[in-house]
Chains A and B, each alone.
Chain A
Amino acid sequence: MSPGPSYAMGPPVNPSYSSFPRRFSSSNPLAYAPKTPTNLSKSFAPSSSTADGSSDDDMTGPLDLDDNVETYYLKPPTFSKKTKKEWKKSGRGMMAAVSPTGGEVAIWVTKKTGDDPNKPSSLSDSRISMPDRTVYFASHTSIPNPVVTLYTESYTLFTSLQRIVASAIRLPSIGVGAEAWDKKGNLIGVEGLMGPPAAETIGHMRRLGMMYVEELAKVREAEGLDMAVKSHFSAVFYVLQLAVILYLPPDGRGEGLLGEELLDWVNDVDPGKLTPVAPDNIQGQEIMQVKEPWSHPSFWPYIIRCILRGFHLPASSFLRTLSSHRHPPISKLGMLLSTHLSLFPRSHNTAAYPLDHQFLTAHRKWVGRFKAELAAFIGGRPKGQWLEESLPGGSMGETGKWTSNERDFRTVIDLMEGKPERVLEESADWREAVGAWGILVDVGLRRDDLPLVTDRILARIPADSTVLDDNIQASLCSGDIVKALTSCHELDVWLAAHLSDIFDKLVMIPDDEERFDMSLRDYFLLEYTDLLQNNPKHLAFWRIIADYLSAAGDEGRCRLREFILHVSLDSDVSPSQKPDSHSSTAPTAQADGMQVEEVDAVEEHLRKCAEIKEACVELKLEEEWRIISGILADRLMRKKEFGLAATMCLQAEDGGSLSRIAEIILDTYITDGEEEFLRLVDTLPPSLLNDAPLALKGLDDDYELNGGGLAVSVFASRLMFLAEFRDYLLFFGQGVRDQAASRLVGLLTSGIAPIRFWAVLLVEAIPLLEDSEILFTSNDTFELLRVLEEITSNSTYAPTEYLAQLGQLLLRRSSDTKLSGKPTTEMNGSLDKSVKGVMVKTQGSENGISLAIRKLEEARLALARNLARALVVGFDAPF
C-alpha cells in the first residue's frame, strides 16, 4: 500500500472559538480579517497555517480541499508526526460513524484488512495502546446556554410570525373571485395574494422583529459568556436591528423620514471615541478644559464629528467658546454658527414638528435664514478672506494670522448646509456618511431613496471587504437583499434563517427556482435546523426543529417526516435500563416493586409520547404517528404492557399487531394458565373490548376501500373472542355452568374462535358435558360434534394447526402437576412465553399432538354421552 500523503496540519485551533456555531469560511474564498481582530473574527479567517509548507515527500494528488478548513486535534493523540509511518505500518487505520441524531461522530482505531480478506487481520505489534482502547466522540458545535435561550425564545417569535403573516393572507371567497378557485375547490389564482403584506401586518412583523433584537441583546449581555461569542452576537444584533429599521418601518409603509432612526443606529453600532453624550467623554472634557479650547488640535475635528453624528448641541456649545476669541470675526462667526446650529431643526423633535412636512418647511426656512445671515457676515468677501477684520479706517488688523481658520469654518458651514461632497470628504467610513446624509444632506430621506444614496456613498467610501458585518450592513442599505443574506449565512446561521424569513414574507427575495431546488429562505431555515440537530443539546430542541422543518418548504417537510421518527421515545431523563435491579430480587418478591417501577417508567414514557403525538397531529404527520405508535406498541408488548400496547396499536391502525396481542394473551392461557390469562385480559382497556367491534367496524369501512377489510375483521374477532372466552372462564369459575356452556357453544359456532383454539375449547367442554345436569342441548352437541369432526379430519393434513395448542396445554398441565410444589412459576408469568413456548415445543410437539388426539377422543365420548342424554332427557327430545 502506497504511503498516503500527509494532509498539512496547522497548529491547533483554539477550541474555545472553533467550537462556536457558524459557517466555516471554506464556503467562501474571501478572507475576512477584521479591523480589530477578535477571537471570533480570527476564526473567520482561513487558517493560513495549513499552507505551512511542511510538504511531505509523499504529498500527491489534489489536496487543495484541505485548505481553509480548521483542523481539530483529538485528544489523546494516536500518533505523532514521527510515529505516523510506524503506526500506519502496524496495520492500524481509523474509522468514524455518525449518530442519526445529534450529529455526534464516533471515531475509533481499527485494523486494516490484511492480505487475505478471509483471515482476520493482525497488527505487527500486539501492544494495544490507550488510544486503541478509546472511542473518541466529536460534535460539530456546542451551544452555550444563553444561546440556547435565544434559540428557544426566538422559536416562539418565529412561529408567531408565521401565524400572523398566514392569517393576514385573505383568501378570495369562493364564488366571488371565481377565477381564483377551480371546480374542485383548489386555489389556482394567487395573483394579489403574493404581494407584500399590508401595512398593519408589517407593523406586527416589526414588533416581532424588535423582539428578536431584544433576545439578541440578552445574549450580548449574558454573564459568563465568552467574549468572542458576545462580540459575534453584537454583530448579529446590529445587522438585524438595521434590517428591522430599514425594512419593517413603524408605519408599515415606509413613508416616514428615515434620517434620525438610521443615525441612531449608526451611533449605536459605532459610538466612536467621541460620543458627547457618553459619560466617559474624556476627549470632549479635555478640550473644554483648555483655556482656549480652539487651540486644542482636536477642537475642529471634534466639532465636525459631532455635526456628522447629529450631536448638534454639543457642537454648538463648542463653537460658542469661540465668542471669547480675541479675533472679532472668528468670535462673531463662531457665535453665528453656534446659534444656528443650536436651532438646527431635527425631525425627531415631534413636539415642534408633529408632521413631516412641517419639519421639512422648518428646515428649508432654517437653511434660508442661515445662508442669509452667513452672507451678511461674509459681506461679499471672496473665499480666503472671510476672516479679514475690517477695522475702522480700512486697516487689516491681525487677519493674516487667522486666515487659516477659515478652512475649518467652511467645513462646518458646508456640513450645516448639507453639501454632499463635504459630507463624503469628512465621513470616516461609509456608515458615518449614511448616518449624516439623512440629517444634513437630504433631510427628507425616505427608505426608498436609501439604496441610491448608499450606492453613491459606497462609490466614494467603499465598505471594508474584509469585515463581514460591514458588508452585510452595506448590502442591506443598498437594498441588495440576496447578497446581504448570503453574507449573513456566513456570519450566523440563526440570523440568516430568521432574516431571510422576514424578507421572504416581504416578498423581497427574488425567486431563482430555475437554478436552485428551493428558495433561499427554505435553504437557510434548513441550515438552521441542521445546526439545531447537530449539537449535543439537540434533545432539547426536537419540537423546535420539527416546527422549523415544517415551515421550510417541501424538503423541510420531507426531512421532518424522517426526523420525527428518530425523536427519542424515552423521556429526556432517559430512565436507563437497569437489568441488575430486576435480577437481584427473587421472582416472587420482586413482583410488586417491579410493577411500581414499571408503571412510573411507562407513565414517563407516555408523557413524551403524548408530546410526540401532539406534534404529529399539529404538523399533520398521521403516517409517521402510525409508525411511531406501532414501534411503541411493540416496545410495550415486550414489557407485557398489553393494555397500553393495544391502545397504541389502535392509534397505529395496526390490526396485525392488535391481533398479535390478542394471540399472545390467548397463548398465555396455554402456556401460563387461566389466572395469568385473566390478568392480561383485564389490562386491556375495557373500552377496547367493548367498543372494539364498533371502532373497528369504522376502520373496517375505511379499509374496505383499500381492500384491507379482511385483516381488520380478523383482529376485531380476535378481541371479541378474548372477551367472550374471559366471560366463559369467569362463569365457569363462579360455578354458573349453564352460562359457561352456552358461551362455549357460542364461541365455537359464531366463527370468532381461531382454528388452533378449537380443540382447546372442545376439551374445555368435557367437564361441562359430563356435568350431572344436561347443559348442552342436542343441537348444541351436534354443533360441537361437527367441530370435532372438522378437527379430526383436517388435522390429518395440518396437525400443528389444529392440535399443537391443545397438545401444549396438556403438556403444561401434566408438567405443572409434576411440579405442583411451585405454582408461582405459572402465576407470575416470569417465564417469557416464547422461551417457554419454544421449550415445550422442542420437548415434544409430537408427544403433545398424540396427547391431544387422545384427549379429543375423550371429548368425543363426552359429546356422545351428552348427546344421548340430551336426546333422551332434554327438553328438545323428539320423543
Chain B
Amino acid sequence: MQQTSLLAHRHADLITHLTYDFYGERLATCSADQKIKLFHRSSEGTWDLETEWKAHDAPIIKLSFAHPSHGSLLASCSHDRTIRIWEEPSPSQVAQAKDGRWVERGVLTDAKGSVKAVEFGPSSPNYGLRLASIATDSYLRIHSSLDPSLNDWSLSHDIHIPSLLPSSPEESQADGASTNELAFGGWGLSWCKERWWGNIIAVFAGTSPVVKIIILDPTPTCVLRITPPSTSSLTSLSWAPSCGRSYHLLATGARDGTVRIWRVDPPESDGEPNGRKDEWKCECVGEFGRGGARVGMVDWNLAGTMLTTSDDDGVIRIFKPTYAKTWKLLGKLTAEEPEET
C-alpha cells in the first residue's frame, strides 16, 4: 500500500460519505454541513472541485451515482428525511447557471425517519431506473422513474423489513423499539450488481444482525436470511460485482468489529415443473476482526476480488482470496501516528 494523494475537501464539517462514479473519474462527497461537492480527476490524477451546492436541510448521510445508461444522476439522503435526486446540467444549462450545480430532479419524502442509505439499482431496461432507500423506520422503499426526463418518481415498493417473512419474532418486535434500542441499530442495503439479476437487493434494518435477500418482482419476497453467529447489529453491507461467477459474494460489517464475507448461491434450477424448487443458500467464507472496533464501511473493487474495510480505530484493511478461495488479509493502512522506534 502507498498513499497517492490528499484532498482538502473544505467542507465546513466532517464528510459523512464519499462515492466514486461509474468510471472512477468523479468523486462526490457529502457532509454534515448539508452540502454536496463534486470533484473531477485531472489529467495529473489530482481531484479538482467541479461544483458544490447545499442539498439538504440537515446533515447528508449517503450518496449514490446512477449507472451511466441513465444519464448523470446522483441521489442523496439525509437526516431531513428526504431523498433528493440530482442531475448534471447539460452544457447549455451550465451556461445559464452560474456555478454548474446539479439540477434537482426529485424530492422523495416518504420516509418517517432519517434516511440511512440510498442506492441506485443496476441498469435494467425492464424496470427503468430504480432507487432503493432505507430509513430508520425500517422501511425499504423502491422508487422508480420510467420517464426518461426523470421528472416523475413513484414509489413502487414499500417494504417493512423486520416484518417481511420469514422473520423471527424478535425482529418483528424491533418495530416498536425505543430510541434507546435504536441507538444500537443499523440500516443498510446493497443491490445485486448484475444486470440480469437486477431486481434483487440485500437489506438489514434495526438491531437485527440478519441480512435479508429480497427479490422485488413481482411481489417482494425474502428468499434468504443471512444470519451471522453473533447478535451484534450490522453497520454496513456490500454486494460484490459477481463478474459471471455462479455465486454471489456479500460483505457485512458489524458493530462488534466483525467483517464477514458470505457466499450466496442462487438456486441452480428454478421453476422446474416437477421436483422441489431449489433454494438460495449462503455460507460464511471469511470472518475477521471479531471484538474489534465498529466497522465503518465495507466496499468491493470492480471484479469482486478485493474487499476494503474501515473501522473506528482508523484502520483500513484489504482482503483478497487465494487460489483456493480462502480470504486473506493483504495489507492495512492506519491513521495512527507511527511510533518512534
Which chain A residues have a beta carbon within 8 Å of chain B's beta carbons? 1, 4-7, 9, 11-12, 15, 18-19, 24, 26-27, 54, 60-63, 65-66, 69-75, 77-81, 84, 87-88, 92-120, 123, 128, 131-142, 515-517, 520, 523, 526, 530, 533-534, 536, 554-555, 557-559, 561-563, 565-570, 572-574, 576-577, 579, 582-583, 587, 590, 594, 598, 627, 630-631, 634-635, 638-640, 660, 829-832, 834-835, 838
Chain A CB within 8 A of B84 CB: no
A11 in contact with B79 (CB, 8 Å):
no
B23 in contact with A582 (CB, 8 Å):
no
Residues in chain A near residue B318, CB distance under 8 A: 105, 140
Chain A CB within 8 A of B276 CB: no
Range class of the B interface residue count = 35 or more
A50 and B192 CA atoms in complex are apart in Å by 37
Given contacts A9-B339, A104-B4, A112-B312, contact A26 B14 (CB under 8 A): no
18 A-B residue pairs with Cβ-Cβ distance under 8 Å, sorted by A, are A7-B332, A9-B338, A11-B341, A15-B2, A18-B1, A26-B330, A72-B332, A94-B310, A94-B316, A100-B23, A108-B29, A116-B182, A118-B182, A559-B243, A559-B303, A566-B24, A579-B100, A640-B90
Chain A CB within 8 A of B106 CB: no
Q: Of A73, A120, A563, A830, which is within 8 A of B302 by CB? A: A563
Residues in chain A near residue B5, CB distance under 8 A: 137
B13 in contact with A128 (CB, 8 Å):
yes
B290 in contact with A583 (CB, 8 Å):
no
B243 in contact with A138 (CB, 8 Å):
no
Residues in chain A near residue B300, CB distance under 8 A: 98
- The residue on A at minimum CB distance from B41 is A574
- The residue on A at minimum CB distance from B238 is A98
B244 in contact with A577 (CB, 8 Å):
no
- The residue on B at minimum CB distance from A515 is B324
B3 in contact with A598 (CB, 8 Å):
no
Residues in chain A near residue B114, CB distance under 8 A: 117-119
A100 in contact with B339 (CB, 8 Å):
no
Chain A CB within 8 A of B282 CB: no
Chain A CB within 8 A of B93 CB: yes
11 new A-B contacts, CB < 8 A, other than A104-B20, A630-B69, are A12-B338, A61-B257, A71-B331, A74-B335, A94-B310, A97-B18, A100-B301, A105-B318, A579-B99, A638-B72, A638-B91
Given contacts A60-B291, A101-B302, contact A140 B1 (CB under 8 A): yes
A4 in contact with B40 (CB, 8 Å):
no
A108 and B301 CA atoms in complex are apart in Å by 18
B312 in contact with A97 (CB, 8 Å):
no
Residues in chain A near residue B71, CB distance under 8 A: 634, 638
Chain A CB within 8 A of B42 CB: yes
Residues B26-71 near A (CB distance < 8 A): 27, 29, 32, 40-43, 45, 47-48, 50-51, 58-59, 68-69, 71
Which chain B residues have a beta carbon within 8 Å of chain A's beta carbons? 1-11, 13-20, 22-25, 27, 29, 32, 40-43, 45, 47-48, 50-51, 58-59, 68-69, 71-72, 79, 88, 90-100, 113-114, 116, 123, 136, 148-149, 151, 179-180, 182-183, 185-187, 241, 243-245, 255, 257, 288-294, 296-297, 299-303, 305-306, 308-316, 318, 322-325, 328-339, 341
A557 and B58 CA atoms in complex are apart in Å by 45
A639 in contact with B3 (CB, 8 Å):
no
Residues in chain B near residue A579, CB distance under 8 A: 50-51, 94, 99-100
Given contacts A555-B245, A834-B149, contact A101 B296 (CB under 8 A): no
B331 in contact with A135 (CB, 8 Å):
no
Q: Which of A120, A558, A577, A834 has the most CB of B within 10 A?
A: A120
Q: Which of B91, B123, B186 has the most CB of A within 10 A?
A: B91
Q: Of B2, B4, B96, B306, which is within 8 A of A830 by CB? A: B96
Q: Of B11, B43, B95, B186, which is within 8 A of A574 by CB? A: B43
- Min CB distance B88 to A, Å, is 8
B25 in contact with A574 (CB, 8 Å):
yes
A795 and B182 CA atoms in complex are apart in Å by 54
A61 in contact with B316 (CB, 8 Å):
no
Q: Of A98, A554, A594, which is within 8 A of B308 by CB? A: A98
Q: Of B20, B151, B334, which is within 8 A of A97 by CB? A: B20
A78 and B330 CA atoms in complex are apart in Å by 23
Q: Of A12, A554, A572, which is within 8 A of B244 by CB? A: A554
A829 and B96 CA atoms in complex are apart in Å by 12
Q: Of B3, B99, B289, which is within 8 A of A65 by CB? A: B289
A66 in contact with B7 (CB, 8 Å):
no
Q: Which of A81, A112, A113, A557 has the most CB of B within 10 A?
A: A113
Residues in chain B near residue A570, CB distance under 8 A: 23, 25
Q: Of B91, B183, B324, which is within 8 A of A582 by CB? A: B91
Nearest first, the 6 closest Cβ-Cβ pairs linking A and B are A558-B244, A61-B291, A4-B293, A77-B337, A101-B24, A78-B335
Residues in chain B near residue A103, CB distance under 8 A: 301, 306
- Min CB distance A664 to B, Å, is 10
A139 in contact with B4 (CB, 8 Å):
yes
Residues in chain B near residue A81, CB distance under 8 A: 336-337, 339
Given contacts A120-B32, A138-B3, A140-B1, contact A97 B336 (CB under 8 A): no
Q: Of A100, A135, A562, which is within 8 A of B15 by CB? A: A135
Q: Of B14, B93, B303, which is within 8 A of A533 by CB? A: B303
B10 in contact with A62 (CB, 8 Å):
no
Q: Of A79, A97, A558, which is within 8 A of B299 by CB? A: A97
